[in-house]
Amino acid sequence: QVQLVQSGAEVKKPGASVKVSCRASGYNFNSYGITWVRQAPGQGLEWMGWINAYKGNTDSAQKFQGRVTMTTDTSTTTVYMELRSLRSDDTAVYYCARDLNFPQLAPDYWGQGTLVTVSS
C-alpha cells in the first residue's frame, strides 16, 4: 500500500534551518512527484512547492523562494524539504503528498505531517 512517512517533530530557534524528510513506499517513486503543504496552528492549508521525485526539478511559491530547497534521493525513495532563516510564523505542520502534477489530478496520498515549532 502507498505510504508516505515523515520525520519527527522539530523545535528550532529563529534564524535556524529545518529539514523534513518524506519516505515513500508502495508505488513507483520515479513516476510521481511530491507536493509540500503547510498548516499553521488553527489556519488553512498553504501550498509550498512541488518536486519531480525522479528528475529533481522543482517549483515553489514565490513567498518561499530563496528560503526553501526540495531534494530527492531515489536510492532511498525519500524527498526532503529544507526551510532556512526560520521565523516564528513558520511554526506549522508540514505535509508531503504524492502528486503526479497533472492539472486534472490532485495529491492523493499524504504523509502524517511534521510539526515544526520555531521559538526562542
Partner 1 sequence: DIVLTQSPATLSLSPGERATLSCRASQSVSTFLAWFQQKPGQAPRLLIYNASNRATGIPARFSGSGSGTDFTLTISSLEPEDFAVYYCHQRSNWPRTFGQGTKLEIK
Question: Which residues would be at the binding site for partner 1 (CB under 8 A)?
Answer: 35, 37, 44-47, 49-50, 59-62, 95, 97, 102-108, 110-113
User: Is 77 within 8 Å of 32 (Cβ atoms)?
Assistant: no
Which is nearer to partner 1, 31 or 74 (by Cβ)? 31
Q: Residue 71 corresponds to which cell in the numbers above?
A: 531534494
Which is nearer to partner 1, 19 or 63 (by Cβ)? 63
The Cβ-side half-sphere exposure at 99, using a 13 Å CA radius, reads 23
Minimum gap (Å) between residue 85 Cβ and partner 1: 20
CA–CA distance, 11 with 13 (Å, rounded to integer)? 7
Which is nearer to partner 1, 25 or 74 (by Cβ)? 25
